[in-house]
Structure 1
Amino acid sequence: MQVFGQTVDDETRCVHYRTPADIVAIKFACCGRFYPCFLCHTAGEMHPARQWPASEWSEPAILCGACQGTLSITDYRQVTRCPHCSAPFNDGCRAHAHLYFEVPAPTA
């Protein structure tokens, strides 16, 4: 699976997010391309990002950089580790969910 953007390793970490747990790439609903983060998408595309509507959360749109396994959006939103290889995901990504999925934006 090709991951676009400013990746820094083969586990999908990018110049913006590169902690040991930053191993997820997300297929963007607007272009069907996997990017490590919304900043990489903004830098790499000429169109605005479109969030996944809840009606399409069964789409395998999440890529684990550790094992290259894919998850549906629904499954990804329910776990803290990859169900295929048990690699931990960055729990802080939940704060950015509204950038990828149609969910309420976090309040301050």
Structure 2
Amino acid sequence: MKVYGAIVDNETRCTHYHTEKDIIAIKFKCCNRYYPCYKCHEEDADHTIERWPQDQFDELAILCGSCQTELSIHAYMHKDNCPHCKATFNERCAAHYPIYFE
């Protein structure tokens, strides 16, 4: 799966967010491209971010950087770790949900 932006390793960490737990990428609704974060999208894309509407939260739009499994938005929002490989996600990412999701 191709991930765009300022990536620093093979688990989708970027120059903006690169702690041990920063291992997800988000498929942006506006361009159908995976980015590690909104800052990477802003630097790379030539358009504004379009948020995922709630009625599309079953879409596969989250990529676990540890095992490359795609998760639905619902599955991601209700888990602290990947249901496939059990890698722990950064719980502080929830603060950015309003940027990505309605």
**What TM-score range do you get, normalising by the shorter chain?**
over 0.9
**Given residue 87 of structure 1, which amino acid in structure 2 is its aligned partner?**
A
Q: What residue number does 1:14 align with?
A: 14
Query: Cα offset for 1:80?
Result: 0.3
Q: What residue number does 2:89 align with?
A: 89
CA RMSD of aligned residues (A): 0.3
Q: What residue number does 2:40 align with?
A: 40
| TM-score, structure 1 normalization | 0.94
**Given residue 36 of structure 1, which amino acid in structure 2 is its aligned partner?**
P
Any unmatched runs of 5+ in structure 1?
A: 103-108
Moved over 2 A (4+): none
Mapped partners of 2:71, 2:46: distance in 1: 27
Q: What residue number does 2:31 align with?
A: 31
Any unmatched runs of 5+ in structure 2?
A: none
How many residue pairs align between the two structures? 102
Q: What secondary structure, in the 3-state scheme, does the structure 2 residue paired with 1:61 have? A: strand
Q: What residue number does 1:49 align with?
A: 49
Mapped partners of 2:62, 2:84: distance in 1: 12
**Given residue 15 of structure 2, which amino acid in structure 1 is its aligned partner?**
V
Higher strand content, 1 or 2? 2
| TM-score, structure 2 normalization | 0.99
